[in-house]
Every structure is written in structure tokens, then in C-alpha cells.
Amino acid sequence: MSELIKINSENKVNGRELHKFLQIGTAYKDWFPRMVEYGFLEGVDFCSKMSKTSPNGGRPASDHEMTIGMAKEICMIQRNERGKQARLYFIECEKRLRGLNAPSYQIADPIDQAKRWIEEETKRQEQAKQITEMKPKALFADAVSASKSSILIGDLAKILKGNGIATGQKRLFSYMRDNGYLIKGGSSKNMPTQKAMERGLFEIKETTINNPDGSIRVTKTTKVTGKGQQYFVNKFLDGRKEA
């Protein structure tokens, strides 16, 4: 079998070489992090390193070494002819590394190799399961942390409920008052406490209303910031607590 993509002495595939072979149009620095989001784990499926400085004096860039299994799955994700070709190549390499076809790839003790592979695969599956369980929270947290828009507490209750937290608008207001996020009573009831405002969890939206008699009335509404949304989603989902 000819060497389609180089596999080093540790049976690892270089990320940039795979990226080049697959003829990916996206820059490597943007492409590889997106591939990792499919559930691959650093230290199990790949390791990070810095590429060597080029002869022309360019600065080192981020690079990665990945297992053949990870490289195979990435090829499947690409869904093009190059991806299919590389995937079949890695499948054959895996077979040979496990001693199923070619004596040239047979290791000294295939039983130990099989045991080690089973242990690593079990560990990878357990860690992948943890990532899958956390993914809804992680994806939402990333989205709201980048958002500049604030939402009503009632809308936050809907988001939490959609993520499996048994709550509603009234219950969430009550929880926030009981836990020191909102003021409990008086004319400032349901306004953020000073501590919550200093943490950037809320903002107050003021609306000016012109009354029929010519007077002016100002209403205040508590809204949850992007940072606050991330904070409360993480807080509830970490322990699946009820509000």
C-alpha cells in the first residue's frame, strides 16, 4: 500500500498535512477548531504543538498530531472525493496496525496492543459522552457571551425550561429575590441588587411615557445581560437545579 498521507513513527497524522491533502479552502487555524467540535478530545484524539519556523523565517504556527481514528472521521466529515480516498486509506492503515492484514505492520505483542487500544477507546467514549451531555450548555454559553442584547427574565425562564430546568417566570423571579439577585420588596422590588449589577448580570431599561394629562412617567424594566444569561444557564445546568 503506497503512503497516501504520512503517518509518523508514533502512528499519528499531522493536521496540516491532512488539511493540505483534503484541499480545504478554509485556513487551517479556523478549520481545525471546527473539526474538534465534533467531539474529539485533546490528549486522547490529538495533541497540539507549534510548527517549525520555515527556512524563510516565518513565525511558528499552531499544529496538531492526531490519531488515525480521528483523521479517518475527519475525512468522513468532508464528504468529497479526497475525503473518501483518505478515509479508505486510513481504514486500511488501522487494519494493518492491528495486525489483521500485513506482517510488516505486525507489532511484537498484538495482545498487549489490543488491550491498550480497548482501554484508550473506552476512555475516549466516556469522555466523548461527557462532552455530548455538556454540548447544549456550551453552545448556548458561547452564543450568549458574544451577544450584546439583553433579554427579559421571563425569556430567560423559557430558555432554562427548554434546557430541561423545571421553572417559569414567577418561579425564576422568586428564586432571584431569595438568592440576592433581585430586591425583595418596596418601590424597587424586582430591580437588581447592587451586587448583581456590579457583576454585570443585569441592566435596567428605562422607558419614558407621556401621560394624557401632559405629565411624564418613567418605567424601569430589569433585563438579563449576555453575561448574566451565561451565568444563570451555567449555574442551573451544572447541577440541573430547579428554580
For residues 207-211, give the mean pLDDT.
85
User: What pLDDT sits at residue 139?
Assistant: 47
Return the minimum-mean-pLDDT range out of 32-41, 66-75, 102-111, 115-124: 102-111
CB 61 within 8 A of CB 50: yes
Instruction: Give domain limits for the chain.
Output: 12-106, 151-239
* pLDDT score recorded for residue 210: 85
Tens-place pLDDT, residues 130-179: 655 555 555 455 545 445 578 999 988 888 887 778 889 999 999 999 99
Helix (H, G, I), strand (E, B) or coil at 27: coil
* Lowest mean pLDDT, pick from 21-25, 123-127, 134-138: 134-138
Residue 143: the pLDDT is: 46
Are 160 and 236 spatial neighbours (Cβ–Cβ below 8 Å)? yes
Cell of residue 212, nine digits: 394624557
Distance CA 15, CA 11 (A): 13
Q: Which residues contact 162 (CB under 8 A, 6 or more apart)?
A: none
Question: What pLDDT sits at residue 103?
Answer: 41
Whether the model pTM is above 0.95:
no
Helix (H, G, I), strand (E, B) or coil at 167: coil
HSE of 155, CA atoms in CB hemisphere, 13 A: 11
- Band (pLDDT 50/70/90 cuts) for residue 226 is confident
pLDDT at 223: 93
Cα separation values, 109 from 94, 96, 99, 105, 112, Å: 16, 14, 10, 12, 6
H helices present in the chain, as ranges: 15-21, 28-36, 68-78, 81-97, 110-146, 153-162, 169-178, 194-198, 226-239
- Res 214: pLDDT: 81
- The answer, yes or no, to whether residue 3 has pLDDT greater than 70, is yes
Residue type, 72: K
Q: Are 178 and 185 in contact (CB under 8 A)?
A: no
Question: 202-210 and 216-224: which strand pairing?
Answer: antiparallel
Q: What is the pLDDT of residues 56-88, one digit of tens each?
A: 555 678 899 999 999 999 998 887 888 889 988
Per the model's pLDDT, the better-predicted residue between 106 and 197 turns out to be 197
